[in-house]
């Protein structure tokens, strides 16, 4: 029961942080989330939890897809193109 309450509290905190974040912080938060989930997926591989690994890597792919779809190629110039290639690589 405590765990459920703690998780809900964390979600409220994360929602509040997202609501008050500038675009640069949002990108940073997404990248941090992707890196955290990749690390967790590595742990799942080590313990042979293939279902957990697949779920985590699916979330990573969703995050990267979100980052890639948010690029503005009309105004972003070279950096937008470079980030697009980076996200493809990831």
Residue 83 included in any domain? yes
- pTM of structure: 0.74
| Counted domains in the chain | 1
pLDDT per residue as tens digits for the range 55-82: 999 999 999 999 999 999 999 999 999 9
Query: What is the Cα–Cα distance from 25 to 14, expressed in whole angstroms?
Result: 12
Residue-range definition of the domain harbouring residue 45: 22-89
Residue 90: strand, helix, or coil: coil
Residue 4: inside a domain: no
Residues 6+ apart with CB under 8 A from 72: 80
Assess if residue 5 is contained within a domain.
no
**Residue 9 maps to a domain:** no
Supply the pLDDT for residue 66.
95
Residue whose structure tokens are 């690994």? 53
Q: Is residue 40 in a domain?
A: yes
Structural domain includes residue 16: no
CATH number (domain holding residue 68)? 1.20.120.340
Specify the higher pLDDT residue, 8 or 66: 66
Mean pLDDT of the chain: 86
**Is residue 62 in a domain?**
yes
């Amino acid at each position: 029961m405590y765990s459920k309450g703690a998780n809900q509290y964390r979600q409220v905190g994360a929602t509040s942080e997202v609501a008050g974040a500038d675009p640069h912080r949002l990108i940073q938060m997404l990248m941090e989330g992707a890196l955290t989930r990749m690390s967790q997926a590595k742990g799942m591989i080590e313990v042979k939890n293939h279902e957990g690994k697949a779920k985590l890597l699916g979330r990573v792919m969703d995050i990267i897809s979100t980052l890639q779809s948010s690029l503005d190629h009309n105004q972003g110039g070279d950096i937008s193109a470079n980030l697009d290639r980076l996200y493809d690589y990831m």
